[in-house]
A = this chain, B = another copy of it.
């Protein structure tokens, strides 16, 4: 499964991606040095229901993202973000309801007229008035939503399931009559009555809806819940299945992956995951996940090297920092520190990297400044400094762990007061070291070699 091959024992030729789009190679182009093991229990050959190799993205930074606490997007910002998303290669761009405010209406119209490759959707409450406004704006499709859990039926709109169904069918018929796409989504699907929502989805499917939507509105679902619900739904409707996962319990990326495995076709994302509360499946983290699962499809379809600038654009627009632990673009996503990690990474990066940083235009960094540094990392740094030819392995080990000129003194520039008092690991026990500290230790030793 998951487009992986070349494990420890099984020959690479036996591996098959579980679901690859017809246009991509049957081998799925997995980097043989990096794939997950064919000898592992999860190697599911021909998992026909899975869409991990042909999913589509409904990018909702300009809808869900506008519900993020810090978000305020003027038209100029919206256009910049829409163009950047289009350049990245998302399939759909979803916008805030034009009913929300006059600017929301005007901006929706303006973005529809940009001529982007991505289809433009807007997300409205499931009623005729909202649907008419949406159609007026010139969108390619309308995303209808209504709460179906008892919580939302009681405390939000007050409608019975029969009323919901009757309204839904009327609105779907109207949007279809305008010749544009229509999606019907329940809200809070995982706390809705299963039989009720399956009936509702089937009715919408018969009415010719393009997609039904499943939403974990409160972020409480787990991957197994998601797999079970989507798998069940996949057997009940013929239309596409869109999924939307909030991240309150940290499962939004994994849930999206499970949904695709179970037969969902579309995943909602936002850049950095911005949205209500702590947000939804982040576009970048989903790319990190899917490039491992279905590398050929993801690399050929999405402009991965544009991820960093896209995230920076949105982070600046909503005045947040990119989280330190963000997959791919977090400042240390490809930093290797422990001795045994650094040694192996220097021999073969696949030992401790499941993602190739170069696919995203990123680079790796091997830290040599700590008490857990190994001598192999110091050797690599010496080579980076262009001094490799002048150091034997024994000399590298001496830099690494024997008494050496003090970088602390060296940093003052006063060569006379340098003392043979420090070594990298000893110093790293005493205080945090910067890369120029360790470089100074190496260069001091090198000077000494030549004396």
Contacts and interface: CB of A to CB of B under 8 A. Distances in A.
B39 A193 contact: yes
A343 B156 contact: yes
Interface stretch (A201-209, A283-291, A302-310, A441-449): A283-291
Interface string A24-66: 0000000000001101111000000000000000000000001
Contacts of A8: 149-150, 191-193, 196
A348 B229 contact: no
A156 B225 contact: no
A70 interface: yes
B341 A67 contact: yes
Interface string A94-111: 001000111110000000
B155 A217 contact: no
Given A156-B343, A220-B354, A334-B277, A7 B193 contact: yes
A402 to B, nearest CB: 14
A293 B2 CA distance: 27
Nearest to A227: B224
A67 B220 CA distance: 31
Interface in A81-105: 96, 100-104
A428 B354 contact: no
Interface in A427-451: 428-429, 431-432
A272 B222 contact: no
Given A36-B190, A247-B325, A276-B337, A223 B152 contact: no
Nearest to A33: B151
A101 B249 CA distance: 37
Instruction: Report which residue of A250, A253, A254, A327 has the largest number of chain B beta carbons within 10 angstroms of its beta carbon.
Output: A250
Contact of A192 (B37, B104, B193, B354): B37
Interface residues of A, number: 119
A418 interface: no
A344 interface: yes
A326 B277 CA distance: 10
Interface stretch (A167-175, A316-324, A378-386): A316-324
Contact of A222 (B101, B192, B257, B276): B257
A128 interface: no
A19 interface: no
Contact of A323 (B71, B147, B323, B340): B323
A248 B355 contact: yes
A360 B67 CA distance: 24
A69 to B, nearest CB: 4
Given A258-B223, A277-B332, A101 B337 contact: no
A333 B248 contact: yes
Contacts of A41: 194, 225, 228-229, 232
A335 interface: yes
A13 interface: no
B332 A68 contact: yes
A217 B250 contact: no
A175 B72 CA distance: 59
Nearest to A343: B156
A191 B7 contact: yes
A235 to B, nearest CB: 11
Interface in A351-372: 351-355, 367, 370-372
21 contacts: A1-B225, A7-B150, A7-B193, A8-B192, A8-B196, A72-B431, A100-B339, A102-B429, A147-B340, A156-B340, A220-B354, A222-B223, A222-B261, A223-B223, A224-B227, A250-B254, A272-B325, A276-B337, A277-B334, A278-B332, A279-B325
Interface of A: 1-2, 7-9, 36-37, 39-42, 66-72, 96, 100-104, 125, 147, 149-152, 154-156, 188, 190-196, 217-225, 227-229, 232, 247-255, 257-258, 261, 272-274, 276-279, 282, 285-286, 288-289, 292-293, 320-321, 323-327, 330-341, 343-344, 347-348, 350-355, 367, 370-372, 425-426, 428-429, 431-432
CB-based closest 10 A-B pairs: A254-B254, A323-B323, A250-B253, A220-B354, A42-B225, A250-B285, A223-B223, A103-B429, A69-B332, A101-B371
